[in-house]
Structure 1
Amino acid sequence: MADEFGAALTALDRAGNPPQAFCDVVADTFPVTGAAVSTLGDVLGSETLAATDATAARLDELQFDLGEGPCWDAVTTGIPVLQPDIRRFGGNRWPTLVSALATEPVASIFAFPLVVGPLRFGAIDLYSNEPVTLDATSASRVSAMAEVVSRRVLQRALENLGLQTEDGGNAFSRRLIHQATGMVLAQIGVTAEDARLVIQGHAFSQGRPMMEIAQAIISGDLRFSRLNGRIEVDE
């Protein structure tokens, strides 16, 4: 089973459209009815990237419009939000959303953040039309798939903005960025590709050149660290 899931992760990473690829397999992989993948908030704006069905898309739309719900909480905290019976137990936390869902076939919602380094920019929402629980193994696997989707969504966004290969255009700047990448790799224990993506994403979110972020990392003015499984910025 672990080998099968590893193969599924590899296939997801190689997919031309990872958000849609996730939605294509979610109902067969987890005990849910459907799912949606969206960007959320100021970094990349609020947009549904893929959805299994109209209900999943509607659930995203309601959370966008109301400014509350599990996906917002997942983005804010950087950790999954699991609500197996939103009608019974979600009213105090998300009263407006629960009221709006009165006529929708949604009973359970599980939201997982899209995160690269300290940058939180979206969520995966899974829903069920009957109250269900998501066990620890399933939650761990959704989180692993969310990591893959997160990287690919941010890479695509940076490519579309022309920022994916920003390095100042000369050997000196490339060396500095390479050095900074190695430092981030050591600080948070990720691959070189992910360390560079952390630098790129942070530069984009701060509206600063990638070269400037690299220099701050090398000088020690900017560090990344792990806290309770999350990557934080120390400035």
Structure 2
Amino acid sequence: MEPTQLLSLLARSLAKVDTDRPLAMRLCEACVDILRAQGGALTVSAVPGERLAVSTPGAFEQLEPLQEVLGEGPVHQAMSEDRLVVMHVDGVTDDYPVFSQLAGTVGGQVMLYAVPMRAGGRVVGVFSLYVTADPQDRSSEDLQFLADAVGASLLGDADSLDWSERAQIHQATGMVTAQLRVPPEDALAVLRAHAFARSTSLLSVALDVLERRLTFSLDESQDDTIDRTEDP
């Protein structure tokens, strides 16, 4: 499809979405509508090392948080390698064995497209598309053009993105760093491990830490890490 046609479709689809909703979510839903998919997500990384994800509601909205918790998946690969990644979620793959095993239980069989969003000569995020219906005419060129158009739009309006969730995860990481006297990357790994064990999001665990429902301490006599969960 010609770029002008895709931009026209994007504009018309955006016009149907509630303008009171955040721009990232509106763009995500518009792309899903244009490409006749069953779900989608945008993972934005306007600042290196920081990521913010929004997903359309439905069966597949847990797949983006799952990749963040595990630290593996098509989104990570598309962002790090700057290329389109296509994954058929129907069995375990060697590239991301844990994610592929769990993804099928979360969303069932689905074709997952992870497309790097480029703006200003660099990758600023990933557009994910979830497809379960009969194949449509979704060329890699169309996917890449839409992803780049969305990336440029979000980068140009970065102030509209809500980074408060990332701030809460940062604060919780700092608290665990102080409690266990470990580097921040180790503290974040501890939070991810708890999220994985509890089948929840990284943000949910971070909020438990911030609200003192989950605390950590170091028993120096046994050189062991102990966590304590308290009822609110």
Change (3 A) 1:61 1:41: farther
Q: What is the aligned counterpart of 1:22 among 22, 27, 52?
A: 27
Q: Match of 1:56?
A: 60
Structure 1 position 141, deviation (Å): 1.6
C-alpha deviation, 1:58, in angstroms: 0.9
Query: Which has the larger share of helix?
Result: 1
Native 8 Å contact 1:18 1:149 kept in 2: no
The residue aligned with 1:125 is 128
After TM superposition, give the deviation of residue 81 of structure 1 in Å: 0.8
Matched, 1:7 2:11: no
Q: Is the 8 A contact 2:38 2:131 kept in 1?
A: yes
Which AA in structure 1 matches 2:9? Answer: A
Separation of aligned partners in 2, 1:114 and 1:47? 13
Flag the 1:41–1:76 CA change in 2: closer, same or farther, 3 A.
farther
> What TM-score results when the alignment is normalised by the length of structure 2?
0.55
1:76 to 2:80 alignment: yes
Residue in 2 aligned with 1:143?
144
Equivalent residue letter for 2:100: V
2:51 maps to a residue whose letter is: S
TM-score w.r.t. structure 1 length?
0.55
| Corresponding position of 2:116 | 113
Counterpart Cα distance in 2 of 1:133 and 1:96 = 27
Tell me if structure 2 keeps the 8 A contact 1:33–1:127: yes
Letter in 2 for 1:62: L
Change (3 A) 1:31 1:93: farther
What do residues 21-54 of structure 1 show as CA deviations (whole Å, max 9, x unaligned)? 3332344332521101112496261211x32214
Q: SS of 1:93's equivalent?
A: coil
* Aligned residues: CA RMSD: 3.3
Identity among equivalent pairs (%) = 20
The AA in structure 1 aligned to 2:99 is L
Runs (5+) with no aligned partner, structure 1: 161-235
Partner of 2:101: 99
Q: How many matched pairs?
A: 156
The equivalent of 1:198 in structure 2 is none
Q: Does 1:86 align with 2:89?
A: yes
Structure 2 unaligned regions, length at least 5:
162-232
Is the 8 Å Cα contact of residues 113 and 124 (structure 1) preserved in structure 2? Answer: yes
